[in-house]
Chain A
Amino acid sequence: MLLARFLGPRVWILIAALLLAAVLVPMANLYLSPSHPLHVPSYMVPLLGKYVCYALLALALDLVWGYVGILSLGHGAFFALGGYAMGMYLMRQIGARGVYGNPELPDFMVFLNWKELPWYWYGFDQFWFAAIMVMLVPGLLGFVFGYFAFRSRVTGVYLSIITQAMTYALLLAFFRNDMGFGGNNGLTDFKDILGFPIQADSTRAGLFAASCIALAIAVLIVGWITRSKLGKLMVAVRDAESRTRFIGWRPEYVKLFAFTVSAVMAGIAGALYVPQVGIINPGEFAPVNSIEIVVWAAVGGRGTLLGPVIGALLVNYGKTYFTAVAPEFWLFFLGGLFVFVTLLLPRGIIGTIDYGWETWRSRRRASREEKGESDDGEGQPLASPAE
């Protein structure tokens, strides 16, 4: 009961649904015969897993955009960095099974005539090390970038633009062969993860379940942060940053905290994404990708926990559908979605529902007060998306 009040019943339903999916989808894939109506085909499992990773990414963005008002157009960079960290681990797992059969060096290094492993590849043969890097590298980048940006009070569109520049610079950098990350082709041809063959149905089912669980945990953590006093402060910073200064808070630290946590979450999303799609290349850094994340959160409703998850699932399902049926229309649709959401649905789906509900309730409360009754609702206020 206390828990239900803590995040609201809907969030618990979401978490339950994620945990159920983590169990049911793999089972429906592995144990039901292909003729069974509820059978989940094998190609579908990594596809769904990909959606879940995107949902996690959207949730990460929502933490900074929806709650703190920082429109980051560079979250794709954190996602990709997490992905590269995982990719490096998977590369090292290939061992001598590569085309050139070099036990130490990944194929592309042999191809480039490199004689030894660069120092920054050390340790990535250990999963625990890679797992730490998955969080540490994006987190560190987010921290350093955020520290400089927020300290010098770069805000609003300026911040958005330099986050674009950040991911663009990384894109250019990762395209270079001598960076040692496989250049244009990126990292691919993975063989196994933690000893399980990466193409096997059971491994993919496991990865899907892991993604769902990661998302559920992330929802809980973001829920906890945003329902705390710090969360209130975040919204206060979003709505009236300078006011928080004059009552003694340091909004730059609030932002830095959110930005760093969010970068770590995005990194984890990337790390779960890479083994499921089997490749990571510099294309993930493309500035456009980062902007696309924004529309997922916007469609679902920023400043809510449910919104970005639902938005990411819907939009990406739409993308899969369109690119199969009428690929040339996908960009029209996506572009139209940006326009539609900002113009007509600024609160997003969940936000609009909540807003309607809230208005209805306050109207009811007002009429009840007239009749002299008192309202004892919990009154968890909703963050309004207006800037």
Chain B
Amino acid sequence: MAEADVTNRKPQDEVQALFEPQGVREEQTPRTDAEGHGERRPAAAPASPESAPPQAEAALAPIEEPVVSPHPYATKLREQRLAKEASGHARRDTLLYLDGVNKSFDGFKAINKLSLVVARGEMRAIIGPNGAGKTTMMDIITGKTRPDSGEVFFNGDVDLTHHDEAAIASMGIGRKFQKPTVFESHTVEDNIRLSLAGPRSVLEALFHRKDQAERDRIDAILETTRLTEKRKLLAASLSHGQKQWLEIGMLLAQDPELLLVDEPVAGMTDAETEETARLLREIARTRSVVVVEHDMSFVRELGVKVTCLHEGSVLAEGPLDQVSADPKVIEVYLGR
């Protein structure tokens, strides 16, 4: 497997190009140091205005209206609004911001006061026992499940709880499911084609014409996910691991800013696991990634900050070594 991969690889810069976001988006902040961000919990005090980027200040400007109403209630409202804006500030340079999120199913608290911040360009691994709420958290971020309460923001100030799955996906959040789901009666190539970023209207799809740019992009993605050979095959005929990759390929085609990847290496061979880790690391050079995974060696290989969930809330957060040494984590997850 690995040998074949080496021969198949394209020159590094071509692959690199693939990872650059295609759409016109606001400038990426440079990749932040995971540790540095770990200290800033969402519940922390509002960041001071000085630290806000300039364009954020401009956005805030209209709010600096003169206080005309002496009425105490109006003043209070205004203060509240300012405080809210300021906390928006704190969110502003985060890509994903969850604070105090709750979700219960029939009284069972699947997510319990969950708070989590992912910075732009960060890759985060999430571990935790089965039923910890990892998948439910992704459901909440991608709009599949509405939280009972709590804040979920994307890109600083987009409130994800007000959008549905399709809108959230179009904003640039891609998701790979725990159970690989690809379009089985389509070819590998068509799977990618359907996922390619671009207009999502029905009429556009009806009158869509294939062009060279599209073909090139599909080629590149197939190359990256090592599926070039299989492009004409029906997705149904792929092996489990290949389906996982195809799904990652579909994610890439979507060209998202944030990738949510649920248990990508479940059911993969060791070689495939290693390959997947490399793929994800590569992707994470230009995009933010949240990976849920049980496989500790895989998580170690990723070498990023780790969050351990338990019973719907964060149990521990930090570098893997630190988290895996945490007695609480050992108690509930790793076992003695």
Please give the residue numbers on chain A whose beta carbons come within 8 Å of chain B beta carbons, in ascending order.
225, 228-230, 232-233, 235-236, 239-240, 242-250, 253-254, 257, 375, 379, 381-384
The total of Cβ contacts below 8 Å across the A-B interface reads 86
Task: Contact check, A246 vs B183: say whether CB atoms are below 8 A apart.
Answer: no
Is B254 an interface residue when CB atoms closer than 8 A count as contact?
yes
Task: Contact check, A228 vs B207: say whether CB atoms are below 8 A apart.
Answer: yes
Q: Identify the closest chain B residue to A250 (Cβ).
A: B166
Closest Cβ of chain B to A248, distance in Å, is 4
Task: Contact check, B181 vs A248: say whether CB atoms are below 8 A apart.
Answer: no
- Render B144-164 as a binary contact track against A, CB cut-off 8 A, 1 for contact: 100000000000000000001
Partner of A235, one of B166, B177, B186, B202: B186
Q: Report the bound CA distance from A245 to B169 in whole Å.
A: 8
Task: Contact check, B185 vs A248: say whether CB atoms are below 8 A apart.
Answer: no
Q: Report the bound CA distance from A225 to B203 in whole Å.
A: 10
Q: Would you give 17 A-B contacts (Cβ < 8 Å), ordered by A?
A: A228-B206, A229-B208, A230-B205, A230-B206, A235-B185, A235-B186, A240-B182, A242-B181, A243-B182, A243-B183, A245-B166, A247-B250, A248-B170, A248-B200, A249-B166, A254-B202, A384-B236
Q: Report the bound CA distance from A229 to B200 in whole Å.
A: 11
Q: Identify the closest chain A residue to B250 (Cβ).
A: A247
Partner of A230, one of B170, B183, B208: B208
Partner of A247, one of B174, B205, B207: B174
Q: A236 with B183: in contact, given A245-B165, A248-B200 (CB under 8 Å)? A: yes
Closest Cβ of chain B to A258, distance in Å, is 9
- Render B192-236 as a binary contact track against A, CB cut-off 8 A, 1 for contact: 011100001110011110000000000000000000000010101
Q: A246 with B142: in contact, given A230-B206, A235-B183 (CB under 8 Å)? A: yes
Closest Cβ of chain A to B290, distance in Å, is 15
Task: Contact check, A229 vs B183: say whether CB atoms are below 8 A apart.
Answer: no
Closest Cβ of chain B to A98, distance in Å, is 46
Residues of A within 8 A of B195 (CB): 247
Residues of A within 8 A of B92 (CB): none
Closest Cβ of chain A to B45, distance in Å, is 36
Q: Which secondary structure dominates where chain A touches chain B?
A: helix
Residues of A within 8 A of B185 (CB): 235, 239, 381-384
Task: Contact check, B207 vs A246: say whether CB atoms are below 8 A apart.
Answer: no
- The total of chain B residues at the interface (CB under 8 A) is 33
Residues of B within 8 A of A232 (CB): 186, 190, 193-194
Residues of A within 8 A of B135 (CB): none
Q: Identify the closest chain B residue to A383 (Cβ).
A: B185
Q: Report the bound CA distance from A252 to B52 in whole Å.
A: 41
Residues of A within 8 A of B234 (CB): 381
Task: Contact check, A381 vs B183: say whether CB atoms are below 8 A apart.
Answer: no
Q: A233 with B169: in contact, given A225-B206, A246-B142 (CB under 8 Å)? A: no
Q: Identify the closest chain B residue to A379 (Cβ).
A: B232
Residues of A within 8 A of B194 (CB): 229, 232-233, 236, 244, 247, 249
3 closest residue pairs by CB, A with B: A248-B169, A230-B205, A245-B165
Q: Identify the closest chain A residue to B185 (Cβ).
A: A384
Q: Report the bound CA distance from A228 to B207 in whole Å.
A: 7
Closest Cβ of chain B to A187, distance in Å, is 36
Residues of A within 8 A of B202 (CB): 230, 253-254, 257
Q: Report the bound CA distance from A244 to B165 in whole Å.
A: 9
Q: Report the bound CA distance from A384 to B187 in whole Å.
A: 12
Residues of A within 8 A of B164 (CB): 245
Is B310 an interface residue when CB atoms closer than 8 A count as contact?
no
Is B184 an interface residue when CB atoms closer than 8 A count as contact?
yes
Residues of A within 8 A of B184 (CB): 239-240, 384
Is B134 an interface residue when CB atoms closer than 8 A count as contact?
no
Q: Report the bound CA distance from A265 to B95 in whole Å.
A: 48
Q: Identify the closest chain B residue to A238 (Cβ).
A: B185
Task: Contact check, B206 vs A229: say whether CB atoms are below 8 A apart.
Answer: yes
Q: Report the bound CA distance from A196 to B202 in whole Å.
A: 41
Q: Identify the closest chain B residue to A365 (Cβ).
A: B232
Task: Contact check, A240 vs B254: say whether CB atoms are below 8 A apart.
Answer: no
Q: A246 with B165: in contact, given A232-B190, A232-B193, A235-B186 (CB under 8 Å)? A: yes
Is B175 an interface residue when CB atoms closer than 8 A count as contact?
yes
Residues of A within 8 A of B181 (CB): 240, 242-243
Q: Report the bound CA distance from A230 to B199 in whole Å.
A: 12
Residues of B within 8 A of A375 (CB): 232
Task: Contact check, B200 vs A250: say whether CB atoms are below 8 A apart.
Answer: yes
Q: A232-B194, A248-B254 are in contact. List 15 more A-B contacts (CB 8 A).
A: A225-B206, A228-B207, A229-B206, A230-B208, A232-B190, A240-B181, A240-B184, A243-B177, A243-B183, A245-B165, A246-B177, A248-B169, A257-B202, A257-B206, A384-B236
Q: Report the bound CA distance from A300 to B195 in whole Å.
A: 32
Task: Contact check, A381 vs B166: say whether CB atoms are below 8 A apart.
Answer: no
Task: Contact check, A233 vs B142: say whether CB atoms are below 8 A apart.
Answer: no
Task: Contact check, B166 vs A248: say whether CB atoms are below 8 A apart.
Answer: yes
Q: Identify the closest chain A residue to B253 (Cβ).
A: A247
Closest Cβ of chain A to B179, distance in Å, is 11
Closest Cβ of chain A to B305, distance in Å, is 25
Q: Report the bound CA distance from A247 to B236 in whole Å.
A: 19
Closest Cβ of chain B to A100, distance in Å, is 49
Residues of A within 8 A of B169 (CB): 245-248
Q: Which of B206, B234, B250 has the most CB of A within 10 A?
A: B206
Residues of B within 8 A of A229 (CB): 193-194, 205-206, 208
Q: Report the bound CA distance from A239 to B182 in whole Å.
A: 9
Partner of A249, one of B144, B186, B200: B200
Closest Cβ of chain A to B239, distance in Å, is 15
Closest Cβ of chain A to B144, distance in Å, is 8
- Render B4-48 as a binary contact track against A, CB cut-off 8 A, 1 for contact: 000000000000000000000000000000000000000000000
Q: Report the bound CA distance from A257 to B202 in whole Å.
A: 8
Residues of A within 8 A of B236 (CB): 384
Q: Report the bound CA distance from A191 to B206 in whole Å.
A: 42
Task: Contact check, B142 vs A236: say whether CB atoms are below 8 A apart.
Answer: no
Q: Report the bound CA distance from A225 to B208 in whole Å.
A: 11
Residues of B within 8 A of A247 (CB): 169, 174, 194-195, 250, 254
Q: Which of A245, A379, A382 has the most CB of B within 10 A?
A: A245
Task: Contact check, B205 vs A233: say whether CB atoms are below 8 A apart.
Answer: yes
